[in-house]
Structure 1
């Protein structure tokens, strides 16, 4: 089944390094800018610091995706998406909320649907969500489940990013070999892998 949208090639084209810097603390910004990663998932910040962090990352040549659900001072609603698109101008957003994916698609942001795959029921609901919201890519957590990556990669034409609980280069490679486009990693020691 095909789940791609008109922008899905954009996320594929953005990925040079298959390791994405998952930034959970502002102190990691400088490390990310000087790493091999060319894409950052911003999992921290607030309405007052967001613009400065995105500018620093983009100024360092990184594409930035803001995890909308984790930014303090922004309600996870359509107005927050409008504010981010018009004022912050990242390449895209990450969210667990399908209605925000649908809306962000209409304002030109690249969208990543984050899915927590705890069991078969969560996987089935996740597939229903992506069929409905039509994100440009999905981020599957935890990222150490290559069997599920392989299943989704073989059944659906949508870029997959894995993340969560990844601690070694071997785990990254296993995820990529299973069909993931890239892996988001919070461990800064893995941000300089040449993948």
Structure 2
């Protein structure tokens, strides 16, 4: 299986999709991947197939999918039946199960204080996800700090408001930036 960075290729923007209209926009945007931040068990397969039809790697956020419990059976079902490229989750137990199912894994961390940073570093070292998404994203100093300690690609997400925010976090060492604003999805235009 390719690494996350190989899967993303040269692009560094990830479309964080919150509705069906954004999904339709994202498949035509020059993005590295699509993070599905909404959906439910009834439509998830259609969304994944749609994105893959446009050759866009797709990662549903397990914690945000309706009708899919955050447990081993849900991840096994997702891997076997829906077959996304990977998952995003805040739950360490799901990272372990998804890796065993052959899915790429992105562990989302909310860095609200120094304790959360240290707890996150410990969780990443223990679970070995393929990448880590840190939130909020505009934290260049923290990105530099944790990137070396985690030894995993870092994706910045949340509160990214403009091209300058994107540039700063990429310069700090983030491999990609997940963005919910479709106007910023063309940051990679020309790559």
**Matched residue, 2:78:** 84
**Matched residue, 1:187:** 181
Q: Distance in 1 between matches of 2:135 and 2:120?
A: 11
Structure 1 position 62 matched with structure 2 position 56: yes
Aligned residues, how many?
188
**Matched residue, 1:13:** 6
**Matched residue, 2:30:** 36
**Matched residue, 2:165:** 171
Residue 177 of structure 1 deviates from its aligned partner by 0.3
Residue 155 of structure 1 deviates from its aligned partner by 3.1
Q: Distance in 2 between matches of 1:42 and 1:138?
A: 16
With the length of structure 1 as denominator, give the TM-score of the two structures. Answer: 0.93
Q: Are 1:21 and 1:40, in contact at CA under 8 Å, matched by a contact in 2?
A: yes
The alignment's C-alpha RMSD in Å is 1.1
Q: Are 1:35 and 1:192, in contact at CA under 8 Å, matched by a contact in 2?
A: yes
How does 1:110-189 map onto structure 2 within 5 Å? 110-189=104-183
Task: Please give the secondary structure, in 1, of the residue aligned with 2:25.
Answer: helix
With the length of structure 2 as denominator, give the TM-score of the two structures. Answer: 0.95
